Structure 1
Amino acid sequence: MKADLIVGIQWGDEGKGKMVDMLAQNYDMVCRSQGGHNAGHTIWVDGVRYALHLIPSGVLNPDAVNIIGNGVVLSPESIIKEMEQFDDLEGRLFISDKAHLNLPYHALIDQAKERLKGDKAIGTTGKGIGPAYAEKISRNGFRVGELLNPTKLCASILEYFEQNKAIFDVLEIATPSQTELVELLTTYKEKLEPFIANTTNMVWDAIDADKKILLEGAQGTLLDIDHGTYPYVTSSNTVSAGACTGLGISPKDIGVVTGIVKAYTTRVGNGPFPSEDFGQDGETMADVGKEVGTTTGRGRRCGWFDAIAVKHAARLNGCDQLSLMKLDVLDGFETIKICTAYEVNGEIIKYMPSDLEDVKPIYEDIAGWDSVVGCREFDALPENAKKYINRIEELTGVRVGIVSTSPERDDTIIRG
């Protein structure tokens, strides 16, 4: 059995949470491979809103095992708070002992560095994700498994502070007291110890037992540390290949890859965004789509569907199909635009350059429609909505296999 994979194709916030939640009802195991609590998945079930940041979206399937892989940077404080939403997680949630810890001082570093950059700030969430990954890469990080010995971990952290005292002084970050730090780490251990495991072997065993496995990442392809709009990116590999390193599985273990895209485009924070709409249409998308970050509460920048960027991202991820989310947000628009090419220095191109600064979008207009809300069959969609979907398929070269017509789990079209 292969492990199927869900991946964001834009700048995150594509609606992966709803898709993973819906698909997870048919899977035995759901695995999160990268990112941290800077990610936010919003799921609506029977009118109830669930906001997940670290726990995999399969948590709403009582029969699914949920794995937080080694590629995640884990905030103990955040996940403990998130776990309080549920009362039946033992035996259903497991955290890799090799995942790196995102501790309170990482957020302080993150926020201090953003302040020092002034108007050149990247626009991070300030959650400490970058500093935690930076320490991991520089081999100065601390792993989840080390929580099992709070006293030893405390000594290691204090030694790290001493070695980097000059840097912490410049950032105005105080060294934590030994007593308070041991107490905090002991609390983390007490809460999390039942969930810490060798998740790599668990996933391998599930694959060998022909269990149905679903893999999910965080953020989106255009925020990938290597392939995104650098430096306005996240600190991990958000593409499908990142699931292999983030969980310890082989590329040969990957099955169907589903790319999640919005019917329009959004972005949080700074960085280039060719198809951004600065007028009333962009404001309408933000208002109707409730485009506010699950994690940060920041408003999302909104614009039209960028077929060039989506085609590029779909190729990077090896997408077998696309899942088109929030089609209903475009209800009522008289005209809908699709970015079909870029203009760069007077030249028209139909590929995504490495630098999106000063790129101008070339649009194609498509007639709008009345409403798609609640449609659960493709034939039930308005004709212009079908034309829009067909045009996206033509431009991206990938079939749209799933269409979401409202936030509710069941308002979803699965095309055979």
Structure 2
Amino acid sequence: MEKERGDARMMKSIGSVGTGLGEAVKERIERKPIKFAKDDPRLKPYVREVTGLLNKSLQRGAEILLEGTQGMKLSLLHGEYPYVTSRDTTASTFLAEAGLGPKYVRDVYAIFKPYVSRVGPGPLENEVRDQAALNVHHTRGREVGSVSGRLRRIGAFEERTAFRSISINSATKLAVTHIDTFKGNAAARTSAQFTPDAKAFIKKIRDLSKIYPYPSLALISYGPGLLDVIDLRM
């Protein structure tokens, strides 16, 4: 972590959040004698072979929800290099990192907001400059870096990026979040109460189902609460 934070190019030009992920990946690739948690007597009692646990659970009929990190635009392989993170952020890699094969996958969910956000430098189409609009995203939308604590930059929804994400991740289901960031939707609790702008965005997402592998809109989130969701699968 200290090495990464001491690299001015990583921290400023590329926008690293300085968690040390890039440096850790580099050391592993270089086959350096890395000390893992299992090698520390204090941590060893809490370490388990996760791949085995997951596969045994699946064989017993359990269901597993595997959540990935960050968005596809930050993928080391498919993102906007060099303004990317130090790993791939697509569904197939999330499976590989967990030690799971594609055989067990029932659905892949692609999640979209009405806008694009990112911390630090990098391409951002039609970036929002209006301070009042940014305040809504930073407060109600909670667009603050979860690691860095920095305010995220906001840009318009990128349909082209959505197409690529569905294709590369083989998405079968679509989810929409942050509907409450549309003006006039903070108190909306049903689709009938959504404003025309919000309804137009949801229609745009529904139209993405025309892209192979033809994913269907499954979830619409209209607030930060766990139950602030319209479940279209039911």
Same fold (TM over 0.5): yes
Q: C-alpha distance in 2, partners of 1:118/1:250?
A: 33
Q: Which of 175, 180, 193 matches 1:328?
A: 180
Q: Which of 371, 374, 388 matches 2:201?
A: 388
Matched residue count: 227
Q: Is the 8 A contact 1:224 1:236 kept in 2?
A: yes
Deviation at 1:305, TM superposition (A): 1.2
Q: Is the 8 A contact 1:224 1:238 kept in 2?
A: yes
Q: Secondary structure at the match of 1:139?
A: coil
Q: Secondary structure at the match of 1:219?
A: coil
Structure 2 gap ranges (5+) = none
What does residue 126 of structure 1 align with? 18
Q: 1:372–1:279: structure 2 CA closer, same or farther, 3 Å change rule?
A: closer
Is residue 408 from structure 1 mapped to residue 225 from structure 2 by the alignment?
yes
- TM-score, normalised to structure 1's length? 0.51
Q: C-alpha distance in 2, partners of 1:285/1:313?
A: 23
1:174-323 aligned at under 5 Å gives the runs 189=42, 192-280=43-131, 281-323=133-175
User: What letter corresponds to residue 315 of structure 1 in structure 2?
Assistant: S
C-alpha distance after superposition, 1:358-390 (max 9, x if no partner): xxxxxxxxxxxx325351x43443454223201
Q: Secondary structure at the match of 1:298?
A: coil
Q: Which has the higher contact order (CA 8 A, sep 6+)?
A: 1
Q: 1:384–1:270: structure 2 CA closer, same or farther, 3 Å change rule?
A: closer
Q: Is the 8 A contact 1:130 1:235 kept in 2?
A: yes
1:68-87 aligned at under 5 Å gives the runs none
Deviation at 1:243, TM superposition (A): 1.8
Q: Is the 8 A contact 1:262 1:325 kept in 2?
A: yes
Q: Secondary structure at the match of 2:66?
A: strand
Is residue 109 from structure 1 mapped to residue 3 from structure 2 by the alignment?
yes
User: What letter corresponds to residue 389 of structure 1 in structure 2?
Assistant: I
Q: Secondary structure at the match of 2:108?
A: strand
Q: C-alpha distance in 2, partners of 1:282/1:276?
A: 10
C-alpha distance after superposition, 1:65-89 (max 9, x if no partner): xxxxxxxxxxxxxxxxxxxxxxxxx
Q: Is the 8 A contact 1:321 1:401 kept in 2?
A: yes
Deviation at 1:284, TM superposition (A): 4.0
Q: Is the 8 A contact 1:307 1:396 kept in 2?
A: no
Q: 1:380–1:194: structure 2 CA closer, same or farther, 3 Å change rule?
A: farther
1:54-69 aligned at under 5 Å gives the runs none
Q: C-alpha distance in 2, partners of 1:292/1:127?
A: 16
Deviation at 1:236, TM superposition (A): 1.3
Q: Is the 8 A contact 2:5 2:11 kept in 1?
A: no
Q: C-alpha distance in 2, partners of 1:246/1:315?
A: 20
Q: Secondary structure at the match of 2:106?
A: strand
- TM-score, normalised to structure 2's length? 0.88
Q: Secondary structure at the match of 1:121?
A: helix
**Structure 1, 228-237 or 139-148: larger mean CA deviation:** 139-148
What does residue 104 of structure 1 align with? none
Q: C-alpha distance in 2, partners of 1:233/1:119?
A: 12
Q: C-alpha distance in 1, partners of 2:10/2:27?
A: 23
Q: C-alpha distance in 1, partners of 2:6/2:77?
A: 24
Q: C-alpha distance in 2, partners of 1:309/1:261?
A: 10
Q: 1:199–1:287: structure 2 CA closer, same or farther, 3 Å change rule?
A: closer
Deviation at 1:237, TM superposition (A): 1.6
User: What letter corresponds to residue 179 of structure 2 in structure 1?
Assistant: L
Q: 1:400–1:276: structure 2 CA closer, same or farther, 3 Å change rule?
A: farther
**Structure 1, 385-394 or 217-226: larger mean CA deviation:** 385-394
Q: 1:245–1:378: structure 2 CA closer, same or farther, 3 Å change rule?
A: same
Q: C-alpha distance in 1, partners of 2:155/2:173?
A: 23
C-alpha distance after superposition, 1:242-263 (max 9, x if no partner): 1222011111122211112212
RMSD value, Cα: 2.1
Deviation at 1:120, TM superposition (A): 6.1
Q: Is the 8 A contact 2:10 2:16 kept in 1?
A: no
Q: C-alpha distance in 2, partners of 1:119/1:145?
A: 30
Deviation at 1:292, TM superposition (A): 1.5
Q: Indicate the structure with greater strand content.
A: 1
